[in-house]
Amino acid sequence: MIDARGFSCPQPVLMVQQAVKRDAPKTLTVLVDDQCAVGNIRRFAASQGYQVRVTEQGEEFSLELTK
Amino acid sequence: MKKRSWFQDNWLALLTGLIVGAAALLLARLGNPGNMGFCIACFERDIAGALGLHGAEAVQYFRPEIVGIVLGALLAALCFREFRGKGGSSPLLRLILGMLVMIGALVFLGCPLRMVIRIGGGDLNALVGLAGFIVGILVGVVFLKKGFTLGRAYGQSKAEGAAFPALLTLAFLLSVTGLVGLFRSSESGPGSKRALWYVALLAGMAVGFLAQRSRFCMAGGIRNAVMFRDFGLVAAFGMVILTVLVGNLLLGQFGGFAFEGQPVAHSDGLWNFLGMTVVGWGSVLLGGCPLRQLILAGEGNTDSAVTVVGMLLGAALSHNFKLASSADGSAPGGHTAVWAALVILLLISLVCTFAKKKEGTK
């Protein structure tokens, strides 16, 4: 799981990019607290062939990436 | 899940580019200085002058565009439930980075947004600036990839998040009603060239609203293209140039591409290049260009509000110590300041990239 809460763009999507590059995981959970990061990660994950499910929890978002 | 097309993902950014370009043409037509329909750095410099932070009489005016951009972003953030108080990610470093970005921008004579507007107006000096801007972004990206971070931000109260937009609005109301003669106002020079205040305010609000929704950012566009092969924002960047270029042609005010004789610009190539290198590098470390900082400040991000304050201070330094360029050329003090800014950027980049790694391995 990646906890990218509090980091500003582009760090959250960079953290995801590095995890994908390193381990090529089948599933990955990412926590963020910023709509901009949600959009960036969603676009990047889709470009890498992941399906993305976003759940809003109060002021935070949990993104489930699955391949 | 159905795959979204590129256009579905990026139409809003393209629309923002179109509106920004059109609004810039309109404002320049209605009185703003040439190729300066919008310039975040120049307008914040004018506000710093209005507040008396510097004494350059030609550049003092409480620019309504800046207030409009922040209020437009605030409105969009409220409408879409994105307003939240947030801050605490190295505020002092951000203040310093904001100062450096402003110093670099005033050596070039424009923020990244004015740079593209200048390109659309046929100013080739701005292409030299663009080359420097790209180099600055690439250097910043190297550090980002190595782990550069200014640390996490944390939730703050709504009052903390609203303080900056509220203060700016209050000051603007005082300025525009003229009830108290608090603020300075240029009678000649670029600061005296202005569109009607309410048109400027509304144009700013439209841009702020759209830019908040589309995450429009001049530095982010090139950064995302390089790092993630994501070309949405860089296309919006191109859209501003295209709109301004076509608009200038249609309005019959395009005088061809040239280096010399451009409005509020100079032709010192090296300093146009290095000034924008500072802006590009600093903007990448900050996570966004000067326009984006205003948008984030409107969303309740106090780190960005602090960055904007840093930019006001940078403008004051630039004019008090004669670092800023003028149409006659760059200033010797500006050359020293740009070298100093590059050294400070390198130090901040190194420390925030490698010192943190050591902590992590403890």
Chain A residues closer than 8 Å to B79 by CB: none
Q: What chain A residue is nearest to B154 in terms of C-alpha separation?
A: A6
Chain-chain contact of B230 with A7 (C-beta, under 8 angstroms): no
Degrees (nearest 5) of the Cα angle B159, B63, B58?
Answer: 135
Question: What is the distance, to the nearest Å, from the Cα of residue B221 to the centroid of all Cα atoms in its chain?
Answer: 14
Distance between CA atoms of residues B248 and B258, nearest Å? 15
Give how far B102 is from chain A: nearest CA, Å.
21
Query: Which residues make beta-bridge pairs with A62?
Result: A31, A55
- B73 occurs within a structural domain: yes
Chain B residues closer than 8 Å to A40 by CB: 224, 228, 230
Q: What chain B residue is nearest to A53 in terms of C-alpha separation?
A: B1
B336 touches chain A (CB under 8 A): no
**B277, B342 Cβ separation under 8 angstroms:** yes
Return the CATH number of the domain spanning residue range A2-66: 3.30.110.40
Could you write out the DSSP letters of every residue in B153-209? -EE--HHHHHHHHHHHHHHHHHHHH-SS--S---SSSGGG----HHHHHHHHHHHHH
Q: Which pLDDT score is estimated for B360?
A: 45
A66 touches chain B (CB under 8 A): no
Q: What are phi and psi of A60, to 5 degrees?
A: -120, 165
List the single residue in B149, B151, B228 with the smallest CB-CB distance to A17. B228
**B40, B312 Cβ separation under 8 angstroms:** no
Chain A residues closer than 8 Å to B227 by CB: 10, 14, 17
- The sign of the CA dihedral B71, B72, B74, B78 is positive
Give the up-direction half-sphere exposure of residue B243: CA atoms within 13 A in the CB hemisphere.
22
Please give chain B's pLDDT, 362 residues, in tens: 556 788 988 999 999 999 999 999 999 999 999 999 999 999 999 999 999 999 999 999 999 999 999 999 999 999 999 999 999 999 999 999 999 999 999 999 999 999 999 999 999 999 999 999 999 999 999 999 999 999 999 999 999 999 999 999 999 999 998 776 789 999 999 999 999 999 999 999 999 999 999 999 999 999 999 999 999 999 999 999 999 999 999 999 998 999 999 999 999 999 999 999 999 999 999 999 999 999 999 999 999 999 999 999 999 999 999 999 999 999 999 999 999 999 999 999 999 999 855 554 43
Chain A residues closer than 8 Å to B287 by CB: 8-11
Q: Which pLDDT score is estimated for B202?
A: 98
- B1 occurs within a structural domain: no
Nearest to B204 by CA among B15, B20, B18: B20
Query: Which residues make beta-bridge pairs with B342?
Result: none
Chain B interface, best mutation among A5, A9, A22, A56, by max B CB count within 10 A:
A9
Give the up-direction half-sphere exposure of residue B229: CA atoms within 13 A in the CB hemisphere.
6
Exposed (0-12), middle (13-18) or buried (19+): which is B209, by Cβ within 10 Å?
A: buried
A56 touches chain B (CB under 8 A): no
B5 touches chain A (CB under 8 A): no
Distance between CA atoms of residues B143 and B187, nearest Å? 45
Q: Which pLDDT score is estimated for B178?
A: 77
Total structural domains within chain B: 1
User: Within a 10 A sphere around the Cβ of B299, how many other Cβ atoms?
Assistant: 26
Residues of chain A with pLDDT under 70: none
Distance between CA atoms of residues A9 and A14, nearest Å? 8
Distance between CA atoms of residues B215 and B12, nearest Å? 9
Per-residue b/e over B84-110, b at no fewer than 16 CB within 10 Å? bbbbebbbebbbbbbbbbbbbbbbbbb
- B4 occurs within a structural domain: no
A50 touches chain B (CB under 8 A): no
List the single residue in B1, B152, B287 with the smallest CB-CB distance to A5. B152
Residues whose CB falls within 8 Å of the CB of residue A43, separated by 6 or more in sequence, listed in order: B9, B228, B230, B232
- B245 occurs within a structural domain: yes
Could you write out the DSSP letters of every residue in B233-246? HHHHHHHHHHHHHH
Q: What chain A residue is nearest to B156 in terms of C-alpha separation?
A: A6
Residue B296: give the domain boundaries. Answer: 10-357
- B249 occurs within a structural domain: yes
Distance between CA atoms of residues B124 and B144, nearest Å? 30
Chain B residues closer than 8 Å to A9 by CB: 215, 220, 287-288
Nearest to B40 by CA among B333, B329, B286, B250: B286
Peptide bond connecting A10 to the previous residue in cis, omega within 30 degrees of 0: yes
**B252, B181 Cβ separation under 8 angstroms:** no
Chain A residues closer than 8 Å to B155 by CB: 33, 59
B147 touches chain A (CB under 8 A): no
**B77, B212 Cβ separation under 8 angstroms:** yes
* DSSP structural state of residue B350: H
For the stretch B21-45, pLDDT in tens is 999 999 999 999 999 999 999 999 9
The interface predicted TM-score (ipTM) is: 0.92
Chain-chain contact of B215 with A6 (C-beta, under 8 angstroms): no
List the single residue in B89, B230, B287 with the smallest CB-CB distance to A6. B89
Chain A residues closer than 8 Å to B4 by CB: 46
